[in-house]
């Protein structure tokens, strides 16, 4: 081998060595990288691989029920029979939807909605075609499913309100989550998830909603579900127990009948609200399944305002039901006593103005109890004139008027108890003395809700304790609240003198008693259930002098919107007070004729359902200073 060959061999050897070293370095780097990825970083990439292979999905929890005090379901969950369609499995979506329309109700708007959903989603994702189907329709579609390519049947849950309009304002309803309501809770982003929109469904939505569960779904590279690997069900929401008695509530709604109005019944010692009826109601199931435009127009166009909870949102002049407040304020101020008498000629003059009594010929000489019994306006004009509006306002607030009761409902209104300062601040006008007289009979600027009137009556009947209404049981248990007769003592006293209260209560007893009580025709005749009360009628428009003098049209002959509101407040039984009731019939006319019979029947039904009423009631406390002398029968009723 010559020198040239040796040089070539050395060069080739060096290059082969360098190439081998490079390959060795390359394989060493590759091995190191593989070791790093497969050993040192194995956990990280295993997790990433699983995240691509496994899809975590939220499972909506079962919503808690709403129950009455006896465990009757007012809001529950029922099966939701649904029809879904998977676009990639349907050979022709239009044809499949057309075939479905022959089996179930499916209009063009629904078909277009389904098509829009299909366009926005991937082809293998199911889209809801129809839900809340009847079992018959669900079975019919199931029977024809072999001829409906791409159609899937599904059974879920939806909210159900078995008593519909009876509890529509108390329980409320659920609806789809709006964009403004989506917060940090991922549950709210689930398609079709429902949250509370009104009533206790809204106020206690967080308690009723529960906590989400989750499932692990194995998916392929396209995101299509292959199988479920693991499942953890969510935590169901808490059940909510109300103080309401569903039978009393149902009866109150039935008794209101076709009238537009409200009725409230509460325990005067514990504050438990047994009925909170607002009529007419509406079917909350409409909002859950999707209210139609026709249904929405019907609800909004109804002059009786079925969407308004009149028991807590309706604000009305209390009329003569306010006279106990004025009487107590005057007694406390020393402006009147039990023996103070005022002569009623049928009107009262103040400056150039004449303020009329409801009884054209007047009532003659009246003391406080008689003035309550016969609802004499002139007596309370004079009582109000003597003390002024500010003292009336102070007593009103002590009895629960002009302030929200803080009951467990949204949208409660506070009413209005006017004062001199209020008018100056709100209207920039000084208070006029004539306005005080009008306030004295519960008219003018005075406004109250039926719930406030029930609270006022309860505080009068329980001895002057500031009981407050409650709608939700604090202990979350079924059955009656603690039955102690001293339960009201957990509340602060309104600091009313017993002798003053006795006068007001005696007047209310006389209202429902012969011979001259304005509501004697609506009294409860069973002595053990007898009620005491006060009638009221509040004007919605000013009566002209011509109408007053000629009485051209009676109240019932006027257009509905121009008729007086009819009110009645009561407590029962007289011997051992336990329940307070307030009723308003919008534009019902006379409180004695329209509202008192409704309150009588509701209070009687309430007492008949209460086992504690079977025990002999204790005697009424002695010491009343009321004038109990009988008088001749009256020819007509006031209030």
Total number of residues shown for the chain? 639
The tokens for 134 are 């009847």
DSSP 519: T
Q: How far apart are CA 538 and CA 442, in angstroms?
A: 8
Q: How far apart are CA 613 and CA 606, in angstroms?
A: 10
The tokens for 187 are 């549950």
DSSP 562: G
- Mapped to the 3 state alphabet, what secondary structure does 433-453 carry? HHHHHHHCCCCCCCEECHHHH
55 is catalytic: no
Q: How far apart are CA 375 and CA 321, in angstroms?
A: 9
| H-type alpha helices, 219-365 | 246-256, 285-289, 293-301, 310-313, 323-333
- Which residue pairs from 145-151 have beta carbons closer than 8 angstroms and sit at least 24 positions apart in sequence? 147/99, 148/96, 148/99, 148/100, 149/89, 149/90, 149/91, 149/96, 150/85, 150/86, 150/87, 150/88, 150/89, 150/90, 150/91, 150/93, 150/96, 151/83, 151/84, 151/85, 151/90, 151/96, 151/100
Residues 612/537, Cβ–Cβ less than 8 Å: no
Active-site residue, from 246, 260, 320, 537? 320
Three-state secondary-structure class, residue 61: coil
- Mapped to the 3 state alphabet, what secondary structure does 1-46 carry? CCHHHHHHHHHHHHHHHHHHHHHHHHHHHHHHHHHHHHHHCHHHHH
Residues 129/106, Cβ–Cβ less than 8 Å: yes
Three-state secondary-structure class, residue 533: strand
Residues 560/605, Cβ–Cβ less than 8 Å: no
CA-to-CA dists, residue 398 to 309, 349, 391, 493, angstroms: 25, 31, 11, 9
Three-state secondary-structure class, residue 230: strand
Q: What share of the chain is helix, strand, coil (3-state, %, to 5)?
A: 40, 20, 40
Q: How far apart are CA 417 and CA 431, in angstroms?
A: 13
Q: How far apart are CA 485 and CA 269, in angstroms?
A: 7
Closest residue by Cα to residue 418 from 456, 446, 437:
446
Residue 537, strand partner residues? 566
DSSP 542: P
The tokens for 98 are 């057309």
Which active-site residues does the annotation give?
A: 320
């Amino acid at each position: 081998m010559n020198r040239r060959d040796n040089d070539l061999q050395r060069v080739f050897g060096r290059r082969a060595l360098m190439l081998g070293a490079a390959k060795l370095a390359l394989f060493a780097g590759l091995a190191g990288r593989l070791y790093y990825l497969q050993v040192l970083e194995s956990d990280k990439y295993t997790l990433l691989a699983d995240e691509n292979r496994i899809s975590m999905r939220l499972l909506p929890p079962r919503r808690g029920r709403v129950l009455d005090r006896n465990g009757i379901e007012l809001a529950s969950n029922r099966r939701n029979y649904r029809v879904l369609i998977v676009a990639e499995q349907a050979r022709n979506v239009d044809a499949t939807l057309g075939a479905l329309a022959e089996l179930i109700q499916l209009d063009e708007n629904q078909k277009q909605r389904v098509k829009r959903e299909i366009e926005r989603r991937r082809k293998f994702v199911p889209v809801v075609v129809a839900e809340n189907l009847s079992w018959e329709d669900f079975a019919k579609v199931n029977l024809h499913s072999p001829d409906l390519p791409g159609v899937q049947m599904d059974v879920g849950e939806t909210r159900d309100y078995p008593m519909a309009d009876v509890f529509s304002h108390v329980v409320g309803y659920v609806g789809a989550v709006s964009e403004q309501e989506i917060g940090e809770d991922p549950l709210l982003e689930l398609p079709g998830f429902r949250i509370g929109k009104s009533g206790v469904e809204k106020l206690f939505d967080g308690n009723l909603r529960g906590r989400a569960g989750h499932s692990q779904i194995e998916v392929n590279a396209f995101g299509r579900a292959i199988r479920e690997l693991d499942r953890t069900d969510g935590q169901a929401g808490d059940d909510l127990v109300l103080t309401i008695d569903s039978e009393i509530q149902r009866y109150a709604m039935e008794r209101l009948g076709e009238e537009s109005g409200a009725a409230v019944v509460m325990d005067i010692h514990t504050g438990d609200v047994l009925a909170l009826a607002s009529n007419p109601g509406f079917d909350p199931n409409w909002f859950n399944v999707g209210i139609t435009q026709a249904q929405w127009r019907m609800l909004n166009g109804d002059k009786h305002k079925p969407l308004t909870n009149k028991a807590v949102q309706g604000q009305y002049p209390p009329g003569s039901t306010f006279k106990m407040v004025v009487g107590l304020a005057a007694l406390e101020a020393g402006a009147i006593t039990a023996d103070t008498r005022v002569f009623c000629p049928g009107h009262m003059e103040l400056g150039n103005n004449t303020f009329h009594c409801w009884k054209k010929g007047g009532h003659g000489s009246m003391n406080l109890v008689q003035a309550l019994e016969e609802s004499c306006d002139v007596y309370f004009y004079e009582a109000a004139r003597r003390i002024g509006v500010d003292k009336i306002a102070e007593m009103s607030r002590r009895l629960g008027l002009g302030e929200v009761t803080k009951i467990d409902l949204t949208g409660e209104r506070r009413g209005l108890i006017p004062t001199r300062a209020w008018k100056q601040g709100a209207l920039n006008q000084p208070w006029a003395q004539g306005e005080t007289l009008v306030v004295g009979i519960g008219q003018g600027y005075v406004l109250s809700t039926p719930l406030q009137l029930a609270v006022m009556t309860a505080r009068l009947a329980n001895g002057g304790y500031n009981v407050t209404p409650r709608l939700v049981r604090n202990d979350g248990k079924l059955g009656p609240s603690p039955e102690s007769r001293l339960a009201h003592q957990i509340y602060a006293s309104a600091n009313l003198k017993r002798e003053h209260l006795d006068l007001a209560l005696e007047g209310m007893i006389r209202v429902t008693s012969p011979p001259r009580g304005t509501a004697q025709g609506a009294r409860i005749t069973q002595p053990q259930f007898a009620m005491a009360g006060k009638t009221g009628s509040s004007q919605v428009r000013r009566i002209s002098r011509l109408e007053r003098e000629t009485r051209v049209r009676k109240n019932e002959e006027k257009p509905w919107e121009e008729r007086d509101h009819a009110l009645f407040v009561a407590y029962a039984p007289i011997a051992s007070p336990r329940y307070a009731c307030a009723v308003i019939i919008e534009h019902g006319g006379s409180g004695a004729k329209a509202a008192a019979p409704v309150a009588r029947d509701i209070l009687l039904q309430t007492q008949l359902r209460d086992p504690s009423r079977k025990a002999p009631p204790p005697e009424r406390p002695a010491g009343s200073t009321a004038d109990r002398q009988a008088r001749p029968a009256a020819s007509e009723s006031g209030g």
